């Protein structure tokens, strides 16, 4: 007899960034993080904050593959949240209905989540604003999903063109969302001082009246 597959598969989480790594990337502009990564790492430009004034966040990825038109796996992820997590949910790019709404995001906030990121759509914008949890999506629609599965929690996924694994650090602001792979966290943190210094130096020159960037002469 062939047994039915579980509706949601959950992977163990053997790794997680430590507090010092998260603190080092807290409040760092996403552009700086991208520069420290060598010029890449941001999700597709269409993934933007639903409430622009609630955009800044930094946390550890809890991945979730809900598939198209379903959100059972997103609800299952709530059970595995740890304080400081970012729920990163892929719908395989499906935009015909929302994958989350204000009530789900409110429960995520109550469970310690610091943000919700999806390549799908969400709904209930006034309630999302009231929940106060940074929410990034490709769009907004009132259409509702099913809640039947299948789906996964904690397995590697691809969201808006970027690979994401549980334990990666996810950083967001009004410009978008950047993923720092777990194995590159210390490398990125180590490069930030140089990035900050270069930005500050050029910013000062622009404010002083500089009209052309130095690289043009080279």
pLDDT digit string, tens, across residues 60-71: 999 999 999 999
Residue 144's CATH number: 3.50.30.40
In this structure, is residue 51 part of a structural domain?
yes
Phi and psi of 75, rounded to 5°? -65, -40
In this structure, is residue 3 part of a structural domain?
no
Per-residue model confidence (pLDDT) at position 5: 61
Q: Over pLDDT 90: what percentage of the chain?
A: 91
- Strand order of the β-sheet with 121-122 is 98-100, 121-122, 139-140
Summarize pLDDT for 28-63 with one digit per residue, the tens.
999 999 999 999 999 999 999 999 999 999 999 999
In this structure, is residue 2 part of a structural domain?
no
Q: How many domains does the chain have?
A: 1
**Nearest-5° Cα angle at 170, 65 to 94:** 30
Domain limits for position 40: 8-216
């Amino acid at each position: 007899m062939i047994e039915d597959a579980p509706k949601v598969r959950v992977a163990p989480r053997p790794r997680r960034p430590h507090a010092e790594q998260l603190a080092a990337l807290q409040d760092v502009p996403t552009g700086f993080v991208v520069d420290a990564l060598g010029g890449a790492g941001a999700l597709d430009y269409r993934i933007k904050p639903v409430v622009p004034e609630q955009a800044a966040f930094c946390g550890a990825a809890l991945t979730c593959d809900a598939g198209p038109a379903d959100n059972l796996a997103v609800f299952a992820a709530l059970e595995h949240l740890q304080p400081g997590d970012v729920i990163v949910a892929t719908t395989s790019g499906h935009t015909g209905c929302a994958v989350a709404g204000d009530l789900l995001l409110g429960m995520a906030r109550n469970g310690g989540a610091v943000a919700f990121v999806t390549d799908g759509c969400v709904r209930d914008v006034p309630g999302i604003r009231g929940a106060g949890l940074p929410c990034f999506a490709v769009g907004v629609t009132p259409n509702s999903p099913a809640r039947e599965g299948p789906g996964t929690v904690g397995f590697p996924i691809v969201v808006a063109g970027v690979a994401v694994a549980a334990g990666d650090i996810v950083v967001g602001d009004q410009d978008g969302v950047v993923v720092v792979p777990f194995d590159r966290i210390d490398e990125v943190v180590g490069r930030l001082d140089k990035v900050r210094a270069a930005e500050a130096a050029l910013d000062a020159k622009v404010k002083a009246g500089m009209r052309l960037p130095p690289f043009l002469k080279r």
